[in-house]
Structure 1
Amino acid sequence: MCTAVRFSNEEGSVFLGRNLDWSCGYGENVRIMPKGFMIPWAFDESTPAKHAVIGMCVEFQNYPLFFDCGSDAGLAVAGLNHPGCAEYAPNPIEGKTNIAAYEFPTWVAANFETVDEVEAALANSLIIEKPFNEHFPVSYLHWIIGDATRSIVVESRADGLHVFDNPVDVLANHPNFEWHLTNLRTYITATPDMPAPATWGRAELAPFGAGAGMRGIPGDVYSPSRFVKVAYLNANYPTKSGESDNVVRMFHTLSNVSMPEGASAMSNGEFEKTVYTSCFSGATGRYYFNTYDDFAIRYASLGDAMHADGNTLIECELKRFE
């Protein structure tokens, strides 16, 4: 399970972050795919990356299997678990842009500059059910894609590809995206404001303190609950200026929907936990993250790829966020 958030700062720069929730990690690390990196597409000839990309991935033989990433154009994407809802096309179709599910984040971040460009390209695209290899089977996902102005959600279903404008700039897991948006109507009375006192008969009732207007917002880690809570927080967090305050905003927001071990067991009995939390900044090209076992926020920068060999993934130098 996972949760993702997008917002912009006062200067209009994008921040996109996510929690990756599972019972274990996969040996993931932050890597930079430099501009010009030759990408071996599953259903097309290899092409050089138009943009440098940074993100969290499993690196296999110099190929990045990105969980989430952002580019030097300020475009970012994150894939979230969606089994039981996602269905990919079984085979490529001639005349379409055919994209293997595992390469979708790379396809987005390496090729495009804006959400509008991605949305236009998706009108003639398919996501194909093809595993990377025998070690990495197909993962059934949906994706949030964001830039400085807006975000979209991409879901592949039995009847084809669905692309939704995302007015709340968040995403969780099941069920499908339009259900989550409809469900928000259940919570329209929630407010960060202090409620006025009320009179019931002869009783004068006053709130105990701040937070009374938020009563009813769920606090569990069920997917619909996380969507509601993070949408509420993202809508009401005051807009901040600069880099540091917005990195702090992202990590505080996502910490409210993180999974502590022991709270939620999967079907196999193992407990989910928030393996890592990330935040990509379009203004600086920095990728911030922390892990379940280490709350300290570290970051790497796309600036490290300015003079790199275009055919080799870059192991990032990590710095501490202060």
Structure 2
Amino acid sequence: MCTGIRFTDPEGNLYFGRNLDWTVGYGQEVLVTQRGFTHPDFMEGKVPTRYAVIGMAIAPEGCPLYLDVMNEEGLAVAGLNFPGYAQYADAPEDGKVNMPAYAFPFYLASQCKTVDEAEEALKDIVILNQAPSDQYEVALLHWFIADKNRSIVVEYQADGMHVYHDELDVLANQPTFAYHRENVRSYLACTPDFPADAHWREATLSPYGSGAGMRGIPGDYYSPSRFVRAAYLNANYPAQEGEEANVSRLFHTLGGVAMALGAAKVSDGDYEYTLYTSCYSGRTRTYYYNTYENPAIRAYPLDSVPLDGGVVVKVPATL
């Protein structure tokens, strides 16, 4: 399972990040795909990347499979688990841009400059029910797509593609985004304000301290609960100035929905927990992340490697 958020600083710079929650990692690492790379799994390898991208990925046989990815222009895409709802096309459609789900984030980030461009491109895309190899299963996902101006959610189901405008700038897992958006209305009375004294008959009752206005915000790890909690924290976190403060804001906000080992099992009995948390700063074009085992935040500037060359490269950490 996963949770993602987006916000901008007072200068309008994008900050985008996600928790990746699961029972086991995949050997993922921070990779840059340079301009000019051709991905063999869409358009028969004939469409070179327009924009360099950075993100968390695995690269079986040298072909990047991004879990979350951001480009040099500030468009970000993350795939979040969506089992029970995601359903992809069984066969290509003539005249469409056909691609497997695992290539979809990379395609958008490498070809589109903004959410507006991505939304236009979605009109021609068909997502195929195809795994990257026999080693992996088809990932059943929906996608969180953002730039400095707005975010959208893309869900591909039995009746086709659905695109939602995400004013809350948050995404979790199943059920659908439409459900999550409606469910938030049940928590409209929650507030960060310090409660006033209450008068019950002759008694004046004072609060124990801060936080009483949050009562009702769910604290469990269930997907609808994480969505509500992330939306509340993202909406109420005070605006911050500067890179360090805004990166801190994102990690603290996602820390509010991070999963601790031992609290939640999946159906096969393994524990799910937050493998890593990532953050992309559009201000400095830097990808940050930490892991469950190592909470120290490491920084990977996109501009620390050449952006032209048509190959996939590893990025050195600066922290």
Give the aligned partner of residue 55 of structure 1. 55
Aligned-pair CA distance for 1:34: 0.9
Give the aligned partner of residue 64 of structure 2. 64
Q: Does 1:260 align with 2:270?
A: no
Q: Which runs of 5+ in 1 are unaligned?
A: none
Amino acid at match of 2:21: D
Give the aligned partner of residue 225 of structure 2. 225
Give the aligned partner of residue 124 of structure 1. 124
Distance in 2 between the 1:226 and 1:213 partners? 18
Amino acid at match of 1:179: Y
1:109-134 Cα distance to aligned partner (Å, 9 max, x none)? 10001101111111222211111111
- Answer yes or no: is the 8 Å Cα contact 1:31–1:313 preserved in 2: yes
Q: Does 1:316 align with 2:315?
A: yes
- Answer yes or no: is the 8 Å Cα contact 2:71–2:110 preserved in 1: yes
Q: Does 1:293 align with 2:293?
A: yes
Aligned-pair CA distance for 1:245: 0.7
Aligned-pair CA distance for 1:46: 2.4
SS of the residue corresponding to residue 296 of structure 1 reads coil
1:1-322 equivalences under 5 Å are: 1-306=1-306, 310-320=309-319
Aligned-pair CA distance for 1:43: 4.6
Distance in 2 between the 1:305 and 1:32 partners? 8
Percent identical pairs in the alignment equals 49
SS of the residue corresponding to residue 77 of structure 1 reads strand
Amino acid at match of 1:314: V
Distance in 1 between the 2:146 and 2:243 partners? 17
- Answer yes or no: is the 8 Å Cα contact 2:35–2:307 preserved in 1: no
Normalising by the residue count of structure 1, what TM-score does the alignment of the two structures yield?
Answer: 0.97
Distance in 1 between the 2:158 and 2:188 partners? 32
- Answer yes or no: is the 8 Å Cα contact 1:11–1:242 preserved in 2: no
SS of the residue corresponding to residue 319 of structure 1 reads coil
| Cα gap change, 1:222 to 1:24, in 2 (>3 Å) | same
Aligned-pair CA distance for 1:18: 0.4
Distance in 2 between the 1:132 and 1:171 partners? 25
SS of the residue corresponding to residue 213 of structure 1 reads helix
Distance in 2 between the 1:236 and 1:215 partners? 15
